[in-house]
Structure 1
């Protein structure tokens, strides 16, 4: 016979009263109660009264007490409605041979002989409640012990002690004027109520003195609700208790009736300052590339234009420059020993569209239709080729920048290579401008926020800004981090701060998120509820979840009613009751929060762009005026210096 894949063990105990008492005291001290061990105690005297003071629920004992007439009186231990152990009489039994013949000194086959005597007697032990001694051929030990499932089908109105802490939305407690805690509402409140109705028991609430969920501590003690069950101060504990290996070493758990994961609760990301929102559409790398492109496209066009001028001059020189040296000397002109340079021959083509106003060779009195005139540094100043080249280069660069912001330019070109470069540059500028304008509109109309903490890796990076992980003291999350030997969870444990990382309750933990730099680690449902109570818009729940956990009922080690609890919990889950209770409690709290706010939800309304959105534009305009004024002052100073030198 097996129960939860464990073999049932039958222990036959034939000892003196003192040794028997010592054995069961050790069973009690070491919490060795188990539903898989059945004890058959054979005594020469009535030892029931002394033994029932030692036994606890979970230790199954059938006692055979020797009578003077050679028969044995059989009784079975059971738990009463008053939570005390007593022995229930089963009847008398006459063995086929006397136990007196089985002397301890004759141990050739004592256990085998005794087992044979017990299993093959002529007198059958009747079922519970019957005391007849009808002659039957065989007796089986398991007939002495009733099935636990049938035994705990009905608790007969027994009153259990349940350890609970007030924890919304799982178990909300109310405290009366005399200090007594009574249940109010919650998911686990619904679970324990359903169990009580189904199995016919009542309960009273007992809170742990430290107010913690608890578990084994480093000094050997067991804290919190789990500790109360381990010390037999309570029959069970139910209140969002996570099943883990550390707790299973001191208590037994039912099957998990609700599963969820852990999330990170941090302060809602603050809005970014919109002063420099005009720079946000592009990253720093894109801005650097655009600046570089705007700086080099002008020189590129200038170089291509110069190459085209040289090609044109080379093509026309063979037609217009076969002049003899003699004619050159007669005209007092320099000899034409070499090809004319760009500076001396290509000035009319070179300066077209480059910021110069030149007299047309065909019409000396008519100005060429080109760009606006550029003021001369000094009146009647002699201009040199290097100055001309620099002004042409600056003119091209400035007009390329105008194209980038879609302001057009005043360049009129007839050379095909230059036109090709300009066409592709204009298309590039159009794409950049459209991308910038659309993205800028989104940045100005939709608030931009700081990067949130969405994962454990983000939490480790946030530690550089002073943030620390936070977990409720005495919970499974604390034990999980504390027990980590390496990896990310070990890193998070090293980042904890004893002064702020271990709030005594979930309520305090959520409040510390707003007042201190901590990122609170808590179960997803609990986090949703508590942040809603404080104002959901003030918090941010990470998208990444971790540490999946199941909640179970913590029971005493060896508690015989666990299998019955499991049976009822399975039926609740299959019927969808637990999920329904979860939704009901969440909806109830949400309605309560809306009532406290007067039933008015937050409404999002469209707003026009304010001065705050456009501060960057005005800032850039101001910077431009300041730079322009500084440039004017520098030019005035330079002109005065030149005049002074002249």
Structure 2
């Protein structure tokens, strides 16, 4: 007996703070067998009433423990009443715990009376795995228990045995701190009916059963339900009665806490509120004249419709005022669709919502039903200047080597001919250096060679030259055809590192939708490429309100939009796919889920249906439908490789015109040279003529003198 008493005392000291009534106990020396009477003025704090079977009472006095075997008749009568209440409470807790299916049991108490303290000890002895938690106004221990991540999928049942005021405070704090959970069930013992006050604090997700005291020994059993107006009610499901002679009786029309999967298998036509934003391809909506939001189409529209049909509920769409997806901000506020759900202004949110750690702090997400990655969308790169496309097949180095080889062939053949003439003593070669060089060029451009190779050394040189020309021509023609058929573009942005380089050196600006996960992954990054990009992010121009705004902004300048792959592809098709460029390297794989209020049982029910839809391929089918619908609106005309245009042959015509100009220039130079030569010849000729005339005159003069002399001689002779 003594070890049992010591155990009870230790338990009461460390588990239950002493809160009892101060009583004075006397004992006759004759009956005590020499034990001295207790001082009536001594303060005795009773933690547990005497056990009805053993007649042992546990008393504490100045740190010492006494075994009391006899009490005065008045105190004994009083303890008998308290024992009756203690046993009543003990039997009631035993009944409630027997209906529990939770694997972890917690008993929250406040020692509002000595009866409660006694019942705690008895319950602890009966239920060995019971965890006892003392009530405090802060409820830190209780909150830690509810939020514990240990055995998160294990049902936890909390039995609340507190005063009416403390019980109301408990559920007020559950609401304020969003402690609702599908894995926590509350069993409440009420000595007075405060169910209406408790109901005013309850939200869906708080599962409550209450035992409300009626007449003596009778408790009404209530269980929480959610009606078609989304209000939590407490419905009468039975009663429990106890008397010392007949033990206890009970009646339950249904379990105090039914299986949620069964309770939520049919919503009975409930009308849920679903938060959305207008989002093409996933949930496109329109606003009617009366201000209501009506769905049009989209993948998530099909998902929500299927859920409503399977679970028998209707829904009302609620549009986020800021038109954002939303999340937790630095100041603690929650924006967008996530904010509506976190504040219980909507039961769920569905619309291409990425599951993130930050959002999971304020809402519960279903398992992801759609997976994709994020990509970079930029304006289609400009085509490279093809004015000199005819030179594109070869690099500058190759062109220089081909030109050098062509120019070298004339002198090589001329040297071969000279060596043959010099050493074989043949006649002078019939072809000049110019003939050899020009005909080698003709061979290069596939115009044939007009020279005849009469000797083997020339034939060997011609053979190697012809093979060289054939190889160069074949590679040039093939490469030029491919180059003209597949236009060359400026280097696009294909990765986050390309984007960072473009931001730093080409004045590009990344763009994200405000309040989306694409913003948060960069904002919350502590290191790496995400952090580097956020440091160069332009807050004045980098934000847009919707995905459509982001796609439109890309076409207006040097902007790169960060968006999920599927939605961006569909939006690009409707605007002209050829106007956009999608990066080859995707990043940030993400899953889309349905956001439910914290602790809501909807999540587990939705998970089951979503898994079935994904396994059946319905989500993929709806995705293909949206892509095909967008493809019908695509105005791009697929023509394949385009015809060769003047732009491709600009260089050829440029060379032709350049040849004309050079030919004309050569003609002009020849003309100038000829005129200069003619002028020089004219001067020389004139001088020659004058000299000839002078000589002629001199000759005539000399002739006249000769005739005079002749005639003079004749005259002399005559005379």
User: In structure 2, the residue corresponding to 1:6 is in which secondary structure?
Assistant: coil
User: Equivalent residue for 1:289?
Assistant: 398
What is the total number of aligned residue pairs between the two structures?
531
User: Equivalent residue for 1:465?
Assistant: 506
User: In structure 1, the residue corresponding to 2:315 is in which secondary structure?
Assistant: strand
Matches within 5 A, 1:129-528: 129=254, 144-282=256-394, 284=395, 287-295=396-404, 360=427, 368-371=429-432, 401-407=441-447, 420=460, 423-444=463-484, 447-463=487-503, 464-528=505-569
- Specify which of 538, 556, 567 is matched with residue 597 of structure 2: 556
Quote the Cα distance in structure 2 between the aligned partners of 1:171 and 1:550: 16
Aligned residues of 1:208 and 1:224 also touching (Cα < 8 A): yes
User: Equivalent residue for 2:623?
Assistant: 582
Aligned residues of 1:58 and 1:558 also touching (Cα < 8 A): yes
Quote the Cα distance in structure 1 between the aligned partners of 2:359 and 2:543: 19
- Structure 1 residues 413 and 623, CA gap change in structure 2 (3 angstroms): same
Quote the Cα distance in structure 2 between the aligned partners of 1:252 and 1:38: 18
Structure 1: unaligned runs, 5 residues or longer: 99-120, 130-142, 317-347, 350-359, 362-367, 372-391
Higher mean C-alpha displacement, 156-165 vs 579-588: 579-588
- Structure 1 residues 311 and 402, CA gap change in structure 2 (3 angstroms): closer
User: In structure 2, the residue corresponding to 1:531 is in which secondary structure?
Assistant: helix
User: Equivalent residue for 1:326?
Assistant: none
Structure 2: unaligned runs, 5 residues or longer: 1-101, 104-149, 681-719
Aligned residues of 1:304 and 1:417 also touching (Cα < 8 A): no
Quote the Cα distance in structure 1 between the aligned partners of 2:660 and 2:565: 55
Q: CA deviation at 1:410?
A: 7.0
- Structure 1 residues 468 and 4, CA gap change in structure 2 (3 angstroms): farther
Aligned residues of 2:152 and 2:183 also touching (Cα < 8 A): no
Quote the Cα distance in structure 1 between the aligned partners of 2:438 and 2:247: 118
Compute the TM-score of the two structures, normalised by the length of structure 1: 0.72
- Structure 1 residues 448 and 124, CA gap change in structure 2 (3 angstroms): farther
User: In structure 2, the residue corresponding to 1:153 is in which secondary structure?
Assistant: coil
Compute the TM-score of the two structures, normalised by the length of structure 2: 0.66
Quote the Cα distance in structure 1 between the aligned partners of 2:441 and 2:502: 41
Q: CA deviation at 1:495?
A: 4.3
1:22 aligns with 2:169: yes
Higher mean C-alpha displacement, 485-494 vs 49-58: 485-494
User: In structure 2, the residue corresponding to 1:216 is in which secondary structure?
Assistant: coil
Aligned residues of 1:482 and 1:493 also touching (Cα < 8 A): yes
User: Equivalent residue for 2:213?
Assistant: 66
User: Equivalent residue for 1:52?
Assistant: 199
- Superposed CA offset, 1:555-599 (max 9, x none): 0110012111111222222333222322333334444x27xx7xx
Q: CA deviation at 1:432?
A: 1.0
Structure in which a larger fraction of residues adopt strand: 2
**Higher RCO (CA-CA < 8 Å; seq separation 6+):** 1
Which has the higher Rg, Structure 1 or Structure 2?
A: 2
Q: CA deviation at 1:512?
A: 0.9
User: Equivalent residue for 1:386?
Assistant: none
User: In structure 2, the residue corresponding to 1:196 is in which secondary structure?
Assistant: helix
Computed over aligned residues only, the root mean square deviation of the Cα atoms, in angstroms, reads 3.7
